[in-house]
Amino acid sequence: MAYEDLRSFLRTLEREGELRRIKVQVDPYLEVGEITDRVQKAHGPALLFENVKGSELPLAMNVFGTQRRLCLALGIKSLDEIGERIGELLKPELPHGLSGFKDALGKVAQLRSVPPKHVKGAPCQQIVLTDDQVDLNALPALHTWPQDGGSFFNLGLTHTKHPETGQRNLGLYRLQRHDSRTIGMHWQIHKDSTNHYAVAQRLGERLPVAIAFGCPPVVTYAATAPLPADIDEYLFAGFVQRERVELVDCKTVPLQVPAHCEVVLEGWLEPGVTRPEGPFGDHTGFYTPVEPFPALTVTAVTMRKNALLQSIVVGRPPTEDGPLGKATERFFLPLLKMIVPDIVDYDLPETGGFHNCAIIAIDKRYPKHAQKVMNAIWGAHLMSLTKLIVVVDADCDVHDYAEVSWRAFGNVDYARDLLLTEGPVDHLDHASYQQFWGGKLGIDATRKLPQEGYTRNGGWPEMITSEPATAALVDRRWKEYGL
């Protein structure tokens, strides 16, 4: 089922035993972060802090902290479901017969029926505060780690649009609360909103921004998805949940936000106006340094009656980022296979932040096939930020890290099977000697062919496997052995 809003999903989690209410007062300075980090590393429940010091709003945390909860949020049984639906849409074959035409029309209908729907009134505007009424200190922002540069909102869905084309973008960025009316926008260099702001500056225009908190679960996921700039996140959200997302016009900026979110901040970015932002303990597990980022002047806060806020704690994995990143890995496999059809499957380890390492399985057919795939990955949208690519044969389970390690440790001649290059890296990468670009490594852990220079006697050896008849015999007699 699709959840119209966050609060209805939280009710489901409570019925399922997946939510704990924290009724005692907790401090958003370090205490909430410490509690949440311990719970999410134990793969524990979602948390609803009902008494947050300094604020009247409850705070929902660790909502998507397990794959089970994320699947519940998106109305699916497994993360592979959405990938399979995307794969069906991408099939290019011409329809055959009446049933084929029905299938083709069904694909078109899936997209036509899910664009966002504009509504005039919305729960998120039951309370409207403007200008001097705005007080961001009334909202529970988190100071999560000791050396953080201040308090942050970590799950605000940021809306902008291209000043020339009007193309909307929905993104998820950390937001530092500078004062009662100003927020720092941590827009990384590779993000679409950064481009929107750059165009506005070139035109000498201010840029409207709307930030929505406590959105319907599928919308929150869509904001994290690495979609191309010309694909509307709300169309994707509607496709995932098979229902249109309702949007309402903002009060003081020419943008739209989810009608059933909890809190909205509206405001304008003036050209060239920045403030120092950070440090911040980020999903890399390290503090990111202080840098200048645009500073948003908030002109209005709208909210539901009895609103609540949702946030997230990032840091050393595992964190709530894990299930969200794994969903993206599964959902976008068909799209990646369109760009690089050689791929059989792939895995993006959470410990690599889902962009530092990619494990790729291919059905190897010719010499240097693995290196061809590496270069294709480094040219594929945000996969270009991948620092380490490990390529294995199709019979390797890329999600079994022990098996992948066995192949990478044993199948590689490190004088011949490495591809070292340079290219763009993530904005937050601290290991690169220059910001935004650095070294990349490809490891060819596939079997080697004679044409690749592997000419040893007997060729590449066979892997050890059990004799099938004996294995079947032992399966049948296992109970007899008393083991």
* Residues tagged active-site: 282
Phi-psi region of 74 (alpha: psi -120 to 50; beta: other; left: phi over 0): alpha
In this structure, what are the phi and psi dihedrals at residue 282, rounded to the nearest 5 degrees?
Answer: -100, -175
Q: How far apart are CA 274 and CA 291, in angstroms?
A: 9
The answer to whether the beta carbons of residues 208 and 160 sit under 8 Å apart is yes
Give, in degrees to the nearest 5, the angle at Cα 37 between 33 and 40. 135
Count the neighbouring beta carbons within 10 Å of the beta carbon of residue 469: 8
CA dihedral 249, 251, 253, 255 (to 10 degrees): -10
Q: What does the chain come to in residues?
A: 483
User: Would you say 83 and 331 are in contact if contact means Cβ atoms under 8 Å apart?
Assistant: yes
Contact 218, 3 (CB under 8 A): yes
Torsion of CA 172, 22, 136, 247, to 10 degrees: 50
The CA radius of gyration of the chain, in Å to the nearest whole number, is 25
Dist CA 343 CA 419 (whole Å): 18
DSSP codes joined into one string, 11-36: HHHHHTT-EEEE-S-B-TBTHHHHHH
Query: DSSP letter string over 305-338?
Result: TT--EE----SSSSSTHHHHHHHHHHHTHHHHHH
Q: Running DSSP on this structure, what letter comes out for residue 191?
A: S
Report the distance separating Cα 275 and Cα 182, nearest Å: 10
